[in-house]
């Protein structure tokens, strides 16, 4: 069957692409596992940077938290252009023989791994200050604003073309979250055991060389995971190459600005990332300077991720029974309440802290396991409202919001450390500083999680019934398009 694509001279290409689509195997476990490995690969660099890059910059390179905070926030200004540009590229570029989104996994996997690794070169600590600063700015921007953007946006957008079925997409969201959790388990549990040690006086010491070798190993593992993602996943929903549009970036953003669920999720994602990543960043300092037990951080990280694995087998049923919006909002309410309890109780016992953290992270996991399914729902909503299918652009806007949240978390973490009087060169911190670290690690996330609950409950409009209605509309639209194509053949 030959589809009319509106692009002169492209008929042979479209015929081959259509044949490939007809012969592709049905959606199944290989796609789910492939999508899992995609986020596993992503988070070998993303979570390592989120959890430990601030520590590397302050403890190893000796930069102030304020300077690092400025770097993280300034990089997001660059992302304002690179993220949206990448989204437009994947939306409008002619598909390759292996699809529209999968080729970018193949092209960018090695650049992402290499650019992530070179951010952790321990010998840079011996350079003069201006050289260290130039190194940090260049390598961080190379990884976050260019290489990671070049693979993450196509990967995230790909979920909408692996299957048109809403249940399949929800399962992809679950498997993606499991992949992120597996990466979090490896990074959260193993890295503290490798890069920290306790000296004879009980102080927590950072081992610079091990940061570098850890980054090298994770870079290799990331490439392996990306390769598995590429070979196991298949694209099944094909759209014709979009004709060149005179729509300006301002007009495009204005159109997306009328997408109410996208705006609500962008705001929620920004606040959620601020809470989660700030908590992860501050936990390093919390266990180094408040609990004075860096090794215990491995156990806490394990407990934190356990909630995701416990919920994962039931998340599809929960989403189907209650709706994605409803379940996600409930999870954020639970997390917010728990972190506020942590703040008021001022806990000194690590086991008690771990128990409450487990309950709180169950709430966060409930939201994170379905968050990527929100994106595919929003892409469908955009098509229903405007008639345009803009997978990459919608995902790029959301990805940019996540990066802003990441930057604010890193930036705020650096600013908070400076404001509370944290001394990077000191072997141990004053008791008052340690108490302030505890406050920052519990109060700020608690407030943020409650804000996310309010956004999802009162501003996000895609309830279960609305999602089902949009799915029905698009199914009828596809049937009509297929009927028109068959008439053209006749």
pLDDT digits (tens, 9 = 90+) for 32-61: 999 999 999 999 998 899 889 988 998 899
pLDDT over 80 at 135, yes or no: yes
Percentage of residues in the chain having pLDDT higher than 70: 86
Q: How far apart are CA 35 and CA 262, in angstroms?
A: 23
Polymer length in residues for the chain = 490
Tally Cβ neighbours within 10 Å of residue 316: 17
**pLDDT number for residue 256:** 65
Contact of 139 with 127, CB cutoff 8 Å: no
Q: Choose among 237, 197, 284, 175: nearest CA to 383.
A: 237
Percentage of residues in the chain having pLDDT higher than 90: 37
- Tell me the H-state helices in 163-207: 166-195
Task: Give Cα 378 to chain centroid, integer Å.
Answer: 17
The mean pLDDT of the chain is 83
- The model's pLDDT over 143-182, given as tens digits with 9 standing for 90+, comes to 998 999 999 989 988 988 898 787 788 788 889 888 988 8
- The model's pLDDT over 440-478, given as tens digits with 9 standing for 90+, comes to 999 999 999 999 999 999 999 998 888 889 888 888 887
Token readout for 28 is 């199944």
pLDDT over 50 at 14, yes or no: no
Given pLDDT bands bounded at 50, 70 and 90, which one contains residue 9?
very low
Q: How far apart are CA 416 and CA 277, in angstroms?
A: 14
Q: How far apart are the first and last CA of the chain?
A: 11
- The model's pLDDT over 415-434, given as tens digits with 9 standing for 90+, comes to 888 888 887 666 677 888 88
pLDDT over 90 at 131, yes or no: yes
Task: Give Cα 332 to chain centroid, integer Å.
Answer: 17
Identify the weakest region by mean pLDDT among 124-128, 137-141, 238-242: 238-242
Q: How far apart are CA 120 and CA 61, in angstroms?
A: 10
Q: What is the mean pLDDT of residues 207-215?
A: 95
- Between the ranges 72-76, 351-355, 407-411, where is the mean pLDDT highest? 351-355
Place of tokens 């890295």: 191
| Cα-based torsion angle of the residue sequence 50, 51, 52, 54 in order, rounded to the nearest 10 degrees | 60
Residues 6+ apart with CB under 8 A from 426: none
What are the φ/ψ torsions at residue 2 (nearest 5 degrees)? -105, 125
Given pLDDT bands bounded at 50, 70 and 90, which one contains residue 257?
low
- The model's pLDDT over 215-236, given as tens digits with 9 standing for 90+, comes to 999 999 999 999 999 999 999 8
Contact of 105 with 228, CB cutoff 8 Å: no
**pLDDT number for residue 253:** 58
Q: How far apart are CA 254 and CA 236, in angstroms?
A: 30
Given pLDDT bands bounded at 50, 70 and 90, which one contains residue 133?
very high
- The model's pLDDT over 77-105, given as tens digits with 9 standing for 90+, comes to 787 678 878 888 887 888 888 888 999 99
Residues 238, 481, 3: CA angle, nearest 5 degrees: 55
Token readout for 464 is 């279960």
pLDDT over 50 at 18, yes or no: no
- The model's pLDDT over 291-328, given as tens digits with 9 standing for 90+, comes to 888 778 888 888 888 888 888 888 878 888 888 899 99
Given pLDDT bands bounded at 50, 70 and 90, which one contains residue 250?
low
pLDDT over 60 at 1, yes or no: no
pLDDT over 80 at 8, yes or no: no
Higher pLDDT, 82 or 391: 82
**pLDDT number for residue 6:** 33
Q: How far apart are CA 287 and CA 443, in angstroms?
A: 16
pLDDT over 70 at 4, yes or no: no
Place of tokens 């050289």: 131
**pLDDT number for residue 3:** 37
Given pLDDT bands bounded at 50, 70 and 90, which one contains residue 247?
low
Higher pLDDT, 107 or 51: 107
Given pLDDT bands bounded at 50, 70 and 90, which one contains residue 362?
very high
Given pLDDT bands bounded at 50, 70 and 90, which one contains residue 251?
low
């Amino acid at each position: 069957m030959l589809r009319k694509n509106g692009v002169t001279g492209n008929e042979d290409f479209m015929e081959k692409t259509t044949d490939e689509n007809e012969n592709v195997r049905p959606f199944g476990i290989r796609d789910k596992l492939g999508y899992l490995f995609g986020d596993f690969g992503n988070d070998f660099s993303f979570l390592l940077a989120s959890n430990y890059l601030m520590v590397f910059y302050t403890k190893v390179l000796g930069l102030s938290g304020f300077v690092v905070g400025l770097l993280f926030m300034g990089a997001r200004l660059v992302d304002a252009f690179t993220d949206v540009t990448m989204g437009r590229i994947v939306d409008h570029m002619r598909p390759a023989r292996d699809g529209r989104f999968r080729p970018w996994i193949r092209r960018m996997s090695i650049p992402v791994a290499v650019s992530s690794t070179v951010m952790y070169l321990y010998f840079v600590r011996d350079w003069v200050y201006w050289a260290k600063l130039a190194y940090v700015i260049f390598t961080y921007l190379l990884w976050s604003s260019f290489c990671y953007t070049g693979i993450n946006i196509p990967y995230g957008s790909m979920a909408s073309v692996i299957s048109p079925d809403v249940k399949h997409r929800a399962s992809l969201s679950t498997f993606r979250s499991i992949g992120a959790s597996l990466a979090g388990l490896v990074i959260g549990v193993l890295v503290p055991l490798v890069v920290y040690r306790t000296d004879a006086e009980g102080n927590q010491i950072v081992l610079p060389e091990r940061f570098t070798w850890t980054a090298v190993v994770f870079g290799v593992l990331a490439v392996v995971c990306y390769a598995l993602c590429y070979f196991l996943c298949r694209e099944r929903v094909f759209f014709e190459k979009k004709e060149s549009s005179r729509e300006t970036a301002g007009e495009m953003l204005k159109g997306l600005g009328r997408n109410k669920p996208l705006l609500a999720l962008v705001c929620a994602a920004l606040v959620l990332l601020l809470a989660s990543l700030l908590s992860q960043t501050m936990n390093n300092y919390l266990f180094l300077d408040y609990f004075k037990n860096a090794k215990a951080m491995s156990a806490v990280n394990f407990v934190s991720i356990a909630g995701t694995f416990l919920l994962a087998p039931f998340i599809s049923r929960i989403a189907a029974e209650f709706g994605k919006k409803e379940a996600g909002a409930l999870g954020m309410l639970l997390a917010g309440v728990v972190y506020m309890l942590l703040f008021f109780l001022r806990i000194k016992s690590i086991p008690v802290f771990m128990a409450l953290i487990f309950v709180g992270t169950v709430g966060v996991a409930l939201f994170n396991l379905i968050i990527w399914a929100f994106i595919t729902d929003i892409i469908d909503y955009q098509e229903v409202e405007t008639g345009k299918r803009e997978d990459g652009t919608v995902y790029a806007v959301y990805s940019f919001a996540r990066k802003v949240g990441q930057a604010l978390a890193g930036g705020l973490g650096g600013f908070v450390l400076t404001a509370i009087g944290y001394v990077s060169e000191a072997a141990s911190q004053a008791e008052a500083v340690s108490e302030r670290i505890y406050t920052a690690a519990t109060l700020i996330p608690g407030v943020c999680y409650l804000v996310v609950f309010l956004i999802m409950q009162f501003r996000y409009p895609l309830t279960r019934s609305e999602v089902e209605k949009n799915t029905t509309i698009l199914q009828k639209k596809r049937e009509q398009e297929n009927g028109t194509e068959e008439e053209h053949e006749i």
